[in-house]
Amino acid sequence: MDDSPYQPPGARLLAEHETVPMFYVVSVRKFWLLTTATFGLYSVYWFYRHWRAYRIHGGSRLWPIPRAIFAIFFTHELFRTFRKACADKGVTNTPSLDGWATLFVVATIIDRIVDQLSRADTPHPVILGMSLVGFLVCGWPLYLAQQVANAACDDPEGSSNARLGLANGIWILLGVGWWGLVALGLWLIYGGVPFWL
């Protein structure tokens, strides 16, 4: 072996696509905690991270930010990509996600309409209730798709991204504050009467 100081290192450097998983991996607990704390705003970041990882891993020229902002137009494609990646690895017990993608798109559109209706001076209590749980309905298809994405990345439990970082903590604290303001607003609007009555 030549010990020349001018010889390049013998270790092979890994390309970026070899070090980044094909999709964004996240644990169930972290997914639901961030979805709930941010009133579903986490879904925009969720889509962005999946498309970004897929672009890096596959060398594609797609744009992750527009695909995250206009997620309803790309949900079916992303969910099919998750399932195809599992099939390519021989994981055959994954559920079909087409119906769940459709549910996400429809629920997101309804949630946006309900959100606009809830901005009235004194919105109907049913509208408020629908607005508060809309992000959970939208989150369920993403949660199921995340399980398939985790399986495609050989990390079904999402253990490689289960810990909460500083940025996660900040978003959770902001979310808790927002939930408190919502509760206070409901209390003031309805004079202490539970809004669902």
Question: What are the φ and ψ backbone dihedral angles of 120, each rounded to 5 degrees?
Answer: -65, 165
Mean pLDDT of 72-101: 90
149-170 pLDDT, tens digit each? 999 999 999 999 999 999 999 9
The domain spans of the chain are 18-189
Q: Which of 23-32, 49-58, 187-196 has the lowest mean pLDDT?
A: 187-196
Q: What is the pLDDT of residue 14?
A: 45
| First-residue to last-residue Cα distance in the chain | 81
pTM tops 0.75? yes
User: How far is it, in rounded angstroms, from Cα 31 to Cα 47?
Assistant: 12
> What mean pLDDT is reported for the chain?
83
Could you tell me the CA-to-CA distances from 165 to 57, 104, 137 in Å, in that order?
Answer: 24, 28, 26
In terms of pLDDT, which residue wins out, 117 or 109? Answer: 109
User: How far is it, in rounded angstroms, from Cα 88 to Cα 86?
Assistant: 5
Could you tell me the CA-to-CA distances from 1 to 4, 5, 7, 10, 180 in Å, in that order?
Answer: 9, 12, 11, 11, 67
Predicted confidence (pLDDT) at residue 13 exceeds the cutoff of 50: no
Mean pLDDT of 89-115: 88
